[in-house]
Amino acid sequence: MPEFFLPLLTPILVFGAIMSLVPMLVLGERRIAAAIQDRVGPNRVGPNGLFQPLADVVKLLFKEEIVPAGVDKWMYFLAPALAFLPAAFAFTTIPVGRGVQIADLNMGVLFAITVTSLGVYGISLGGWSSNNKFALLGGLRSNAQVISYEICMGLALIGVLMVSNFFYDVEAGQTAAVVSSGGIVELQSGSIFNWNIFKQPLGFLIFYIAAFAENNRLPFDLPECEAELVGGFHTEYSSMKFAMFFLGEYIAMVTMSALTVTLYLGGWDPGFSLPEGFLGTLISIGAFVVKVLILLFIYIWVRWTLPRFRYDQLMGLGWKVLIPLALFNIFITAVVCLLMG
């Protein structure tokens, strides 16, 4: 294989994998929801309903595309793409296996966090341009929610970076900051107890809760809240544009899970030392995928368990509980680092 082709291979494989994971995720969500509600779920199309996502996509493609009167055309068409691209884009800095990473930027984690939060532009522009009060309210809520929970997420992240840098210092005698996602995973590898979840249990909890809010998943799906806002920000979207929002939501879920795995659950580290060479790489990718799938299952599981938060409860939890807790977490981490080093 020509050398110049190799750098292209990883992005193609990674994005191909995400794109094919999403339909399976939709099917999985429907089947798990059915199991929780003592139903069967879609099981007619193909063996055990395996081709159901295909049928869904075909159905969505053939639906009538409705553009309501009075929409801001330019933004209306831009919003679905904006909802979907940032989530996929953030995957570039996530190491999916040992040495398998599209770009190991030296500020990788910050990049991922920043880009995922751009996804809210799609939602709020969609709500704004639809010329519909429900959609607008959904977009506004999404903004408020992302702003509040982004803070807890960032603060929780600081704990991880402190811990990483602490261990980096000890092992290599260097003082360079480890903000690259590859570096953070390297530091967690080797043993299951190196994973950041054991060094930052509180941080993990805060980060994961904030991830739910960031992805607009139940119990924090206020932006689309069917009960009050019809469909929220995508009330006025139909056909493939609606599907794009849907796709964006699920890719954002995958990205958030991958980011959580990278930061807290040891990334591609399977918990034992990997063999050298290609086999080791394969095992590391497998471990990463399994961890992401477990987190995705928890996403779905939580969605079908908890009712939606009220708006004031959501804001109260964000500002009065999670942010102080995240600050407390930073404080404790700092104290422990100081005492140990």
Interface ranges with other proteins (CB under 8 A): 32, 34-40, 43, 301-302, 304-306, 317
Shortest reach from residue 314's CB to other proteins, in Å: 12
Residue 131 Ramachandran class (φ > 0 left, ψ -120 to 50 alpha, else beta): left
Q: Which C-beta is closer to other proteins: that of 177 or that of 321?
A: 321
Nearer to other proteins, 19 or 36 (CB): 36
Residues 109 and 266 sit within 8 Å (Cβ to Cβ): no
* CB nearer to other proteins: pick between 28 and 190: 28
Angle of helix 133-172 relative to helix 239-264, nearest 10 degrees, comes to 20
- Alpha helices (runs of H) in 90-132, residue ranges in sequence order: 108-117, 119-129
Q: How far is the CB of 321 from other proteins (least distance, A)?
A: 8
Instruction: Please tell me whether residue 44 adopts helix, strand or coil conformation.
Output: coil
CB-nearer residue toward other proteins: 110 or 302: 302
Shortest separation between residue 224's beta carbon and other proteins, angstroms:
21
CB of 275 to other proteins, least distance (A): 35
Q: What is the token pair recorded at 100?
A: 């398998």
| Contact (CB, 8 A) for 250 and 71 | no
Kindly state the smallest distance separating residue 214's Cβ from other proteins, in Å: 18
One DSSP character per residue, 163-201 reads HHHHHHHHHH--------HHHHHHHH-SSGGGSHHHH-H
How long, in residues, is the chain? 341
Q: Is the CB of 34 or the CB of 118 nearer to other proteins? A: 34
Nearer to other proteins, 24 or 57 (CB): 24
Q: Estimate to the nearest angstrom the gap between the alpha carbon of 130 and the chain centroid.
A: 26
By C-beta, is 115 or 209 nearer to other proteins?
209
CB of 171 to other proteins, least distance (A): 35
In the beta sheet, which residues pair with residue 97?
100
Q: 269 and 189 in contact (C-beta within 8 Å)?
A: yes
Structure tokens that stand for 86 in this block: 């940032």
Considering the complex, what minimum distance in angstroms separates the CB of residue 311 from other proteins?
16
